[in-house]
Structure 1
């Protein structure tokens, strides 16, 4: 595949290395909004900044270039992007986290939330830890986890950052140097606790998942998720 890397920061450079190891070619490397010819690429992988992501994604749709995006912080435009993708007959995968392990963790979280529904003696809390360069808080992964709990558990209708209140899932966000990403969900009762946790040891897993998603998406049209890529759920 000829890949456009839209966002050539730390993640972009790791994706480049993983893609080259898997026999692909990088034809565009940019951290700018525009200034490139996306038609030089077979597919795009977007790990840009939130302010550039929507432009990058729509530009791909308008030129029938499939795009895989892992950028968070732009999702207020997500529904608009899906409509443009449909209108342009584009191909799109967005994931808050492309790690294969995290996507299995998403399924565990959803199943556990369903099991805990109705057990009112338990309250749930989340913690996410990332490196100090991460721009958004809570992480997109944490929001995805929280939304899944809300969907499966009637006791919760929203989440709150660093705040515990009735009917809301507290998400405690920490920023510590050189932490690729840790997410933990704990159900506490007066008698015991149940905890599930995913710890990323490095960024390789995120990069590998994004490249695998791009390989899977090539030649397709429509909107997909990592569940489709991994055939889970």
Structure 2
């Protein structure tokens, strides 16, 4: 499989290593604009881990060229609906995930199940904390937002999430975002009452998990003949079927 890497920072370089280990070829390593269209056209699939201001253009360019594309870039989702419409118009293939780590996606499922179990216990409030490296541009993380939205889906008490956490009211789910040198990614959800605290937590030790999940998603999308907007849940069904 020939892969275009749109974004060649730390994540892009880790994805390159994993892709090469899995016998794929890198045909484009794009860090800056303008896009090298000639090299992009040689790709079977594109993986976008760029920056928020570049993501929309990267993804839409791939869809215009009929190149399946996955994106793990966060901070651009105000334009997500436009990308979904473009995918439909172009009959393209697209996956967005706030986090491609297989472990995190299992954590998403655990979070949803716990939220469902806790929804009727009004004496518990929910706190959500995420910690990332100091180079991460957006806060809160896309993963934290995904976790918060899943909790809101199960718990009618919360009508929105709020960052910074100290500005949240009783109907807003507070998210605390911390930036610490060389932290790969930690997410923790705590249900607190006067009696006790129930917590679940995911800690990434390296970027390899994110990179492996991204490459697996790219392989899955490349082999998917039907056009559409897909989720990491669709990819994971391959492992649970």
TM range (shorter): over 0.9
RMSD: 1.1
1:198 is aligned to: 202
**Residue equivalent to 2:214:** 210
- Give 1:22's aligned residue: 22
Q: How much does 1:219 deviate?
A: 3.5
CA deviation after TM superposition for structure 1 residue 39, in Å: 1.2
Counterpart of 1:119 in structure 2 is: 121
Q: Deviations over 1:103-140 (max 9, x none)?
A: 00000001111111121100000110000000000000
List structure 1 segments (4+ residues) > 4 angstroms apart after TM superposition.
none
In the alignment, does 2:235 pair up with 1:229? yes
Which residue does the alignment assign to 1:80? 82
Question: So what's the TM-score if we normalise by structure 1?
Answer: 0.98
2:181 aligned residue = 177
For the Cα contact (< 8 Å) 1:70–1:96, is it kept in 2?
A: yes
TM-score by length of 2: 0.95
CA distance in 1, matches of 2:195, 2:47: 47
Aligned partner of 2:93 in structure 1 is 91
What stretches of structure 1 of length at least 5 have no aligned partner? none
Distance 2:33 2:97 in 1: 21
Can you list the C-alpha shifts for 1:196-229, whole angstroms capped at 9, x where unaligned?
A: 0000001000000000000000032211111110
In 1, distance between residues paired with 2:2 and 2:33? 20
The answer as to 2:9 corresponding to 1:3 is no
In 2, Cα distance between the equivalents of 1:217 and 1:74?
21
- Aligned mates of 1:20, 1:40 — CA distance in 2: 17
Cα deviation for residue 36 of structure 1 reads 1.0
Find the partner of 1:51 among 36, 53, 70.
Answer: 53
State the 1:33 CA deviation. 3.5
